Protein backbone atom coordinates (compact mmCIF):
# COMPACT_ATOMS: atom_id res chain seq x y z
CA UNK A 1 0.00 0.00 0.00
CA UNK A 2 2.82 2.39 0.92
CA UNK A 3 4.60 1.62 -2.36
CA UNK A 4 1.46 2.46 -4.33
CA UNK A 5 1.10 5.83 -2.58
CA UNK A 6 4.74 6.69 -3.30
CA UNK A 7 4.35 5.75 -6.97
CA UNK A 8 1.17 7.80 -7.25
CA UNK A 9 2.83 10.83 -5.64
CA UNK A 10 5.85 10.64 -7.95
CA UNK A 11 3.57 10.30 -10.98
CA UNK A 12 1.49 13.30 -9.89
CA UNK A 13 4.57 15.50 -9.42
CA UNK A 14 5.99 14.39 -12.77
CA UNK A 15 2.79 15.07 -14.69
CA UNK A 16 2.24 18.50 -13.18
CA UNK A 17 5.85 19.49 -13.80
CA UNK A 18 5.73 18.47 -17.45
CA UNK A 19 2.34 20.08 -17.99
CA UNK A 20 3.56 23.47 -16.76
CA UNK A 21 6.56 23.63 -19.12
CA UNK A 22 6.55 26.73 -21.30
CA UNK A 23 8.57 26.20 -24.47
CA UNK A 24 9.06 29.94 -25.06
CA UNK A 25 11.62 30.44 -22.29
CA UNK A 26 14.76 28.76 -21.03
CA UNK A 27 16.69 29.21 -17.80
CA UNK A 28 20.42 29.85 -18.12
CA UNK A 29 23.14 30.65 -15.58
CA UNK A 30 23.23 34.37 -14.72
CA UNK A 31 26.80 35.24 -15.69
CA UNK A 32 26.60 38.70 -14.04
CA UNK A 33 25.97 37.21 -10.59
CA UNK A 34 28.68 34.60 -11.11
CA UNK A 35 31.15 37.31 -12.14
CA UNK A 36 30.30 39.36 -9.02
CA UNK A 37 31.06 36.39 -6.77
CA UNK A 38 34.30 35.64 -8.60
CA UNK A 39 35.42 39.30 -8.38
CA UNK A 40 34.61 39.41 -4.68
CA UNK A 41 36.72 36.31 -4.17
CA UNK A 42 39.67 37.96 -5.93
CA UNK A 43 39.35 41.27 -4.07
CA UNK A 44 39.02 40.01 -0.49
CA UNK A 45 41.22 37.52 1.30
CA UNK A 46 38.55 36.23 3.68
CA UNK A 47 36.20 35.01 0.93
CA UNK A 48 36.66 31.30 0.34
CA UNK A 49 36.29 29.37 -2.89
CA UNK A 50 32.73 29.72 -4.21
CA UNK A 51 30.94 26.51 -5.16
CA UNK A 52 27.47 26.91 -6.65
CA UNK A 53 25.03 24.20 -5.62
CA UNK A 54 22.15 26.11 -7.17
CA UNK A 55 23.69 28.72 -9.46
CA UNK A 56 21.76 31.95 -10.02
CA UNK A 57 19.49 31.50 -13.01
CA UNK A 58 17.92 34.01 -15.35
CA UNK A 59 14.95 33.46 -17.66
CA UNK A 60 15.61 34.12 -21.35
CA UNK A 61 13.27 33.97 -24.29
CA UNK A 62 14.08 31.34 -26.91
CA UNK A 63 14.48 32.66 -30.45
CA UNK A 64 11.61 31.58 -32.69
CA UNK A 65 12.36 29.64 -35.86
CA UNK A 66 10.89 31.19 -39.00
CA UNK A 67 7.91 29.25 -40.32
CA UNK A 68 8.21 28.05 -43.88
The string over 4-24, giving b where at least 16 C-beta atoms fall within 10 Å of a residue's C-beta and e elsewhere, is: eeeeeeeeeeeeeeeeeeeee
- At residue 25, the pLDDT reads 82
Higher pLDDT pick, 10 / 54: 54
Q: Is the pTM of this model over 0.75?
A: no
* Angle of CA points 63, 37, 54, to nearest 5°: 60
User: Tell me, what DSSP letter sits at residue 29?
Assistant: E
Is the pLDDT at 29 greater than 80? The verdict is yes
Whole-angstrom distance, CA of residue 25 vs CA of residue 37:
26
Amino acid sequence: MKKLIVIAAVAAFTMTGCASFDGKYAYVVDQEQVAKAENLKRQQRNVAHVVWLNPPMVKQQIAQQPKE
